[in-house]
Structure 1
Amino acid sequence: MNALIKAFYHESTSTISYVVYDRQGGHAAIIDSVLDFAENSGKLWTAFADEQIAFVRDNDLTVDWILETHAHADHLSAAYYLRRQLNSKIGVGEGITKVQKTFKLIFNVDDAELAANGDVFDHLFQDNESFQIGALQGQVLMTPGHTNDSVTYLIEGNAFVGDTLFMPDSGTARCDFPGGDAGVLYDSVNRLHQLPPETRLWMCHDYQPGGRELAYETTVAESFRTNIHIHDGTEKAAFIAVRENRDKTLDVPRLLYPSVQVNIRGGQMPAAESNEQAYIKIPLSVSTSLK
């Protein structure tokens, strides 16, 4: 069965989120949702997610799944909000527990607030696990390397790759976050490039290099032929060198700290403190002269 796909572009984070559904009046999944967030003020709102809810209701859809390809470091997930609005289940790869354990230490989160066992999500997918979206058949492919928990959702010839791949002129995701590994990413991209060549690859981000128009869909054949970081004939050692050298030049993502703190909680905010106010932490790197 052919999947119907509606893409939504979140301009401020260059994120593409998808509603995938079997038919009007049928069943759907929302992939890689986004909360609106102003980092200068801490203001959070739901305009983008509400656009997706409006689409769901206009098409009389039942949303079975809110799917996360990984715990994103560049936008805050709207998964928890959407789950409450749509009575859906949040799914993520089982590697999320590794990410939770890593960032619990970085942000000094205690066990009472976050157990790091994935229980803030409704389902932890295993490699090659199958799932249904109404009449649509889905399969989960573990594609780590960018993060420990990165997965690809393969739905009726469509692969939603998260940050594992970008459009061919943008290459691949960085691997310098905790748990990232360029060699592992090479293997994951090769796994995707071994899918049938006509498989459609749907990106989670597009940064429009050179000012080109927004693009977020390609094919396995095109990516395998022209991806600037890893294509037909690219050796593993060469890819690792290119990826690691490029990562050394990259700044910390603008929304890294707020995003990860929310996303490892399945889109929920950190627990409010004694004044009933929730806060985002930023670990400080203090020079010797200031100590």
Structure 2
Amino acid sequence: MRDQARAAVAEITGRTPDNVRQLSGGDTAAAFAVRLDDGTTVFAKTAPMPGAIAAEAASLAWLAEPDAIAVPEVHGHDEKWLVTEHIPAAAPNALAAERLGRELAALHAAGATSFGAAPPGGPADAWIGLARMRNEPGEQWPAFYSRHRIEPYLRRAVDAGTVSAEGGALISLVCAQIDELAGPAEPPARLHGDLWSGNVHWGAQRAWLIDPAAHGGHRETDLAMLRLFGCPHLDRVVAAYQEVSPLAEGWEQRIGLHQLFPLLVHAVLFGGGYAGQAVAAARSALRAR
């Protein structure tokens, strides 16, 4: 795989790699730090899913476009390989977390043409991890979220027996009542779309967003996903976000609603306790009425 990475980086950058080091982590891709002959180090990754590299490149470019938040610069890509700026890792800290909160608010405010809008040049059929994700534009967030972010994964989970019929009925009730549960209407936000803590890369001065599944959505979804799997200094992130762009009243009661999407994706991919967490999130959403 190192030889493939070396060849791909040479072709995409037009430079000669003189060192290739495989990186650990990540469950959907092989990743490498590649030093070029001019001393620059770039990051190269490949993914097994068709179209995933093109979708990620489009997502990164769209998130970078408003110059609101730090994302790695895309140096180029082909069908199998993506080459970006390499960001050395550092420990999370409170100041960087506060900066992340302010920058995430600015990114969301950059907006999207509609809920479910794919990044320009990005495919409608994209990926979140190893699961397919449909970007289908719509005018109303509740209809988009239930139809394209809850129901497809719920059907798969119930059909596989991962989510029980009783649990599936409870989650379906959330979809039926989502207009009441969604809170005040908001314009489409420019979302990272897969913002769990592993996709926040802490650098020396700030946090960087990586591995996006970007689309137009509700800004509370990104924040709920940060909370779902834990993010260092999350209280600082949220407080700084609120200073720039206050969240609508009742947002904390809607966290379960916004966590349904990633929890159902994880139930489909990994089973286990994620199904129970999805049902618990549905109960939380219904209690918030």
The TM-score range, normalised by the shorter chain, is under 0.3
Per residue, is there more strand in 1 or in 2? 1
Per residue, is there more helix in 1 or in 2? 2
Which structure would you say has the larger RCO, counting Cα contacts within 8 Å and 6 or more residues apart? 2
TM-score, scaled relative to structure 2: 0.25
TM-score, scaled relative to structure 1: 0.25
